[in-house]
Structure 1
Amino acid sequence: MSLVAEMPGYLQVFSDGSVKRFAPETVPASMKSTNGYKFKDVVIDESKPITARLFIPESSASQLPVMVYFHGGGFCIGSTTWLGYHQFLRDLSVTSQAIVLSIDYRLAPENRLPIAYDDCYSSLEWLSHQVGVEPWLKLADLSRVFLSGDSAGGNIAHHVAVRAMRNEVSNVKIKGLLLIHPYFGSEKRTEKEMADEADEEIIKNDMFWRLSIPEGSNLDYFGCNFQIQDLSEAEWSVFPATMVQVASLDCLNERGIMYAEFLAKQGVKEVELVEADGESHVFHVLHPESHATRLLQQQMTKFMNSITH
């Protein structure tokens, strides 16, 4: 049995198809209220299984917007329980005064795309059914739902939005997307990718795509290449308002900018592109209490408020 793919410290994939994952520090579930918020874990679909972490800010508001968040990790690693995600999302819940539902979807290569899209879309259906049942959702305003995620999670947010637009989920209205360092690709390399083909990050991204797209597919798979998107002019015109966050030191920087430009060209009514200067990929997860992360949370809050009011 030989090693066929590896991200040191996170993932090993072996020739017999078995996968070994190494999780960084995690935060166990707790329902205690501390520092202006409380959180707990919920089950979205026990048969798959799909779970989520629910964050609720202490608030005097009668209703709160809902952010559904999809973690990154090249579709192959990551969890809402990781310390970096937990800290970022608890603070975002307090800053934005929003309920945050952070989804633990099934991972590749055991569960290749489009399974992550299916799992994450089902979280919207869960939300629709649970809003009158789950006590923690009694303040949830499902007419103000936002989809967000970083890296692969940003990719997922885009594809869940497309599906939700075509198959409306009862009571759930997607008001906006907030994509952080979204993970896209294509057979055609960008200038930066061609210039830095031996770059460790680019090699890692290629590996994750190879492990996550259906066997026999290439980087022009619809989930990978956003330009392979068969939306009509009418559909693009009602696509949700979108904020795209990119980081200047991220090798996916170009892809994020291309995505924002693509949306604008398709006639999406509101597209905002924000660049974090001097920051690298998913800095908000690696450094959840940094000044740059605080700024990101404020920018996301401002965007949500501009859409909801």
Structure 2
Amino acid sequence: MTLTESGGMENKDPETAAGKHRRLSPPALPWSVRLQVFSLVTAVDLVQRADGTVNRFLFSFADRQAPATARPDAHGVRSADVAVDASRGLWARVFSPLSADRPLPVVVYVHGGGFALLTAASTLMDAMCRRFCRELGAVVVSVNYRLAPEHRFPAAYDDGVDVLRHLSASGLPADVAVPVDLSRCFLAGDSAGGNIAHHVAQRWASSVSSPIRLAGVILLQPFFGGEERTEAELRLEGVGAVVNMRRADWCWRAFLPEGADRNHPAAHVTDEADLAEGFPPAMVVVGGYDTLQDWQRRYAATLRRKGKAVQVVEFPEAIHSFYAFPELADSGKLVAAMRAFVESNSDA
């Protein structure tokens, strides 16, 4: 794991790290992880139709759903689903410990899935958020946003903002018995969820005052892009990459407005000129076997050029979505780095 930090106008450009991971052999992974990754990408390839739609019936066989449960699991974490806007099916799953001796920070989490797949109830996401609740010492609010292509840009961004508004107006459900501190609220997301978290943070930082203070954003291998084919995209194509160019292009076509290309501001954020003055400190996680890594480093460089505090955490051997597999050593290191980021940015 490599960690770099910057605040203010320090002249550190993470793009200089782009050439560090020049290898063509597949990453070394346990067979259990290889099997899970193979099953996931096979399901994705089968359900992404050529006409831009999703075969949701077929994907339902691969995407097992976990119910919310008030009964705590073996680690003392319980969950509850909260309706935010029933008219459009917007809800969130709240994960909380049984007790706490102090107010806990809140992590509003946005799941990945290329804007088009998975839910807050997907077993993969449910397990990951339970782990974050337990190991970060936080209440986790997992956003179940509307999916593309049925709901294109900016639906997912609108949903993320509205969950924050609901949290600000109504607080957490009564069965969350632990105290929370909404001045220590973090937005987090993986892959497409990282993209959504960035845009929600940008909107929120530009909005009126609220009891919710965004103390930071945590972007796990965020999904950014553009018309350009980067060095990492070309080098890692055909090397067992979870996100290859074909899958990524399909996701952008499904999510972006009809007729838009990948230089649309939703995807190509590295030239963003109007970054909100109050945009919070950011943590950007980069994997050496992720085709999106060059875009992620450029994003971090953009934040730095605009005077924002940003911490880049690199895992040279990590595939895209490595954080979903607790058996990987890097997954544990990531959670420790996330906890350190939350703790270091919790002061008002």
| Closer/same/farther in 2, CA of residues 52 and 288 from structure 1, 3 Å limit | farther
The within-5 A match list for 1:173-184 is: 173-184=213-224
Alpha-carbon displacement from aligned partner over 1:155-200 (angstroms, at most 9, x marks no partner): 0010000100111352110000000000001122222334556777
The corresponding residue for 1:29 is: 68
Tell me the SS of whatever aligns to 2:319. coil
How many residue pairs end up in the alignment?
A: 298
Aligned-residue CA RMSD (Å):
2.1
Q: What amino acid is aligned across from residue 72 of structure 2 in structure 1?
A: S
The corresponding residue for 2:29 is: none
The corresponding residue for 1:300 is: 338
Tell me the SS of whatever aligns to 1:275. strand
The corresponding residue for 1:71 is: 111
| Closer/same/farther in 2, CA of residues 187 and 137 from structure 1, 3 Å limit | farther
The corresponding residue for 2:182 is: 142
Alpha-carbon displacement from aligned partner over 1:39-59 (angstroms, at most 9, x marks no partner): 111111111111111100233
- State whether residues 40 and 55 of structure 1, in contact with CA within 8 Å, keep that contact through their aligned partners in structure 2: yes
Residue of structure 1 aligned with 2:167, choices 127, 130, 135:
127
| Closer/same/farther in 2, CA of residues 71 and 277 from structure 1, 3 Å limit | same
Q: Quote the Cα distance in structure 1 between the aligned partners of 2:131 and 2:53.
A: 38
The corresponding residue for 1:206 is: 249
The corresponding residue for 1:13 is: 49
For structure 1, the residue ranges without an aligned partner over 5 or more in a row are 1-6
- State whether residues 108 and 142 of structure 2, in contact with CA within 8 Å, keep that contact through their aligned partners in structure 1: yes
- State whether residues 179 and 245 of structure 1, in contact with CA within 8 Å, keep that contact through their aligned partners in structure 2: yes
- State whether residues 90 and 146 of structure 2, in contact with CA within 8 Å, keep that contact through their aligned partners in structure 1: yes
Deviation for aligned residue 1:216: 1.1
The corresponding residue for 1:4 is: none
Residue of structure 2 aligned with 1:92, choices 122, 129, 132:
132
Q: Quote the Cα distance in structure 2 between the aligned partners of 1:300 and 1:240.
A: 15
The TM-score normalised by the length of structure 1 is 0.89
The TM-score normalised by the length of structure 2 is 0.80
Tell me the SS of whatever aligns to 1:136. coil
Q: What amino acid is aligned across from residue 339 of structure 2 in structure 1?
A: T
- State whether residues 32 and 38 of structure 1, in contact with CA within 8 Å, keep that contact through their aligned partners in structure 2: yes
- State whether residues 13 and 20 of structure 1, in contact with CA within 8 Å, keep that contact through their aligned partners in structure 2: no
| Closer/same/farther in 2, CA of residues 278 and 227 from structure 1, 3 Å limit | closer
| Closer/same/farther in 2, CA of residues 94 and 18 from structure 1, 3 Å limit | closer
- State whether residues 77 and 107 of structure 1, in contact with CA within 8 Å, keep that contact through their aligned partners in structure 2: yes
Deviation for aligned residue 1:264: 0.7
Determine what percentage of the aligned residue pairs are the same residue.
35
Q: Quote the Cα distance in structure 1 between the aligned partners of 2:327 and 2:177.
A: 27
Q: Quote the Cα distance in structure 2 between the aligned partners of 1:173 and 1:53.
A: 20
| Closer/same/farther in 2, CA of residues 96 and 220 from structure 1, 3 Å limit | same
Tell me the SS of whatever aligns to 2:274. coil
The reply to whether residue 290 of structure 1 matches residue 328 of structure 2 is yes
Q: Quote the Cα distance in structure 2 between the aligned partners of 1:16 and 1:81.
A: 24
Tell me the SS of whatever aligns to 2:269. coil
Q: What amino acid is aligned across from residue 273 of structure 2 in structure 1?
A: D
Higher relative contact order (CA 8 A, sep 6+): 2
Q: What amino acid is aligned across from residue 56 of structure 2 in structure 1?
A: K
Instruction: Answer with 170-179 or 10-19: which moved more.
Output: 10-19
| Closer/same/farther in 2, CA of residues 18 and 182 from structure 1, 3 Å limit | closer
Alpha-carbon displacement from aligned partner over 1:180-225 (angstroms, at most 9, x marks no partner): 0000011222223345567771111011101110001111111111
Q: What amino acid is aligned across from residue 221 of structure 1 in structure 2?
A: H
Tell me the SS of whatever aligns to 1:185. coil
| Closer/same/farther in 2, CA of residues 18 and 264 from structure 1, 3 Å limit | closer
The reply to whether residue 39 of structure 1 matches residue 79 of structure 2 is yes
Q: Quote the Cα distance in structure 1 between the aligned partners of 2:150 and 2:90.
A: 14
The reply to whether residue 56 of structure 1 matches residue 96 of structure 2 is yes
Q: What amino acid is aligned across from residue 117 of structure 1 in structure 2?
A: Y
Residue of structure 2 aligned with 1:227, choices 251, 254, 270:
270
| Closer/same/farther in 2, CA of residues 70 and 38 from structure 1, 3 Å limit | same
Q: Quote the Cα distance in structure 2 between the aligned partners of 1:187 and 1:137.
A: 48
